[in-house]
């Protein structure tokens, strides 16, 4: 029997998933991971298990695949005492893991997906890249391999390229396919602006979606704190992405102090406007 109950966090980059995770981590019954390798490990296991190797042909126990899957995820979080685990990976909102979880484990994944204006996602990346001139971001590394100048226009093109894993475009296209397909019910989309302006309502929706109890009320009447947010784990973003402080948080939940149009310029802001397919009236 599983010791933990598993949920998932995905969506679009630079949309508030890190701060949302740390707010949920204030609940003693929940652990939200930083970027996790679980989806990659499970994906590799499924590829190997389905391959036609000599050992797998000889090993006649296909019914053990669910146990292998459960063993991996339980093993990865064996050190966590919290009963609820929310594993974070941009891959979880894809239909493949949702379908595989249903077919192999008999479970319906519940995936929280943070979203925002696409131009805000792009502008946030551009600002961070500009502010770290001593580093070469993974976006600029890609541009170098393509012999392209690291201009903001080319950076946006790369960021929106669905062929580049973990890019805005890759996450966007996969989220769009799932949202427009049969697995929409497995997703809960959370707008960054809603989290900032009305966090209590957003947290209530999340608890209802996950079907777990809300956090107990503290002596001062609050369930979660939005002005004293602490980061549990600090990632080495400079080494991993060439973008230091990619997941850095301030102590307070607050809105952005900049406008995407001012960062990107009118031409780029116009080019990537109105791509938010999940909003009423959008494609």
The class of domain 5-271 in CATH terms is: alpha beta
Give the pTM.
0.93
246-250, long-range: CB < 8 A, 24+ apart: 246/128, 247/18, 247/34, 247/35, 249/18, 249/19, 249/22
The Cα 74–Cα 77 span in angstroms is 5
pLDDT higher than 80, residue 34: yes
Torsion over CA: 13, 230, 4, 33 (sign): positive
Q: What angle do CA 165, 248, 172 make, to 5 degrees?
A: 30
- Share the mean pLDDT of the chain: 92
pLDDT in tens, 50-83: 887 888 778 777 789 999 999 999 999 999 999 9
28 or 165, which is more confident: 28
Q: What is the DSSP letter of 176?
A: H
- Residue spans per domain, the chain: 5-271
Q: Could you tell me which of 83, 75, 89 has the C-alpha nearest to residue 33? A: 89
Confidence (pLDDT) at 20: 97
**What pLDDT score was predicted for residue 283?**
45
Pairing of strands 30-35, 5-11: unpaired
- Cite the DSSP H helix spans in 25-151: 38-50, 54-58, 65-76, 95-100, 118-130, 138-145
pLDDT number for residue 51: 86
Q: pLDDT tens digits, residue range 191-241?
A: 999 999 999 999 999 999 999 998 876 656 677 889 988 887 676 777 778
pLDDT digits (tens, 9 = 90+) for 148-207: 999 999 999 999 999 987 799 999 999 999 999 999 999 999 999 999 999 999 999 999
pLDDT of residue 246 exceeding 80 = no
């Amino acid at each position: 029997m599983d010791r933990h109950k598993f949920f998932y966090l995905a969506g679009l980059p630079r949309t508030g998933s890190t701060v949302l995770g740390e707010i949920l981590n204030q609940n003693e019954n929940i652990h939200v991971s930083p970027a996790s390798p679980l989806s990659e490990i499970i994906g590799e296991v499924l590829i190997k298990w389905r391959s036609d190797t000599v050992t797998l042909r000889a090993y006649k126990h296909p019914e053990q695949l669910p146990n292998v899957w459960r063993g991996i995820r339980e093993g990865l979080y064996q050190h966590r005492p919290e009963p609820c685990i929310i594993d974070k990976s941009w891959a979880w909102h894809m239909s493949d893991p949702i379908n595989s979880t249903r077919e192999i484990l008999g479970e319906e994944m519940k995936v929280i997906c943070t979203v925002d204006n696409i131009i805000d996602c792009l502008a946030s990346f551009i600002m961070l890249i500009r502010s770290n001139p001593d580093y070469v971001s993974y976006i600029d590394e890609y541009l170098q391999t393509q012999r392209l100048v690291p201009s903001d226009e080319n950076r946006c093109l790369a960021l929106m390229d669905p062929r580049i894993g973990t890019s805005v475009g890759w996450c966007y296209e996969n989220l769009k396919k799932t949202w427009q397909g049969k697995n929409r019910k497995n997703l809960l989309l959370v707008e960054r602006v809603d989290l900032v302006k009305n966090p209590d309502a957003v947290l209530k929706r999340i608890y209802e979606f996950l079907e777990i109890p809300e956090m107990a009320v503290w002596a001062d009447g609050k369930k979660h704190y939005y002005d004293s947010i602490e980061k549990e784990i600090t990632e080495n973003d400079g080494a991993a992405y060439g973008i230091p402080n990619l997941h850095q948080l301030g102590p307070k939940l607050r809105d952005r102090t900049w406008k995407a149009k001012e960062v990107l310029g009118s031409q780029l802001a116009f080019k990537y406007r109105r791509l938010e397919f999940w909003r009423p009236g959008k494609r």
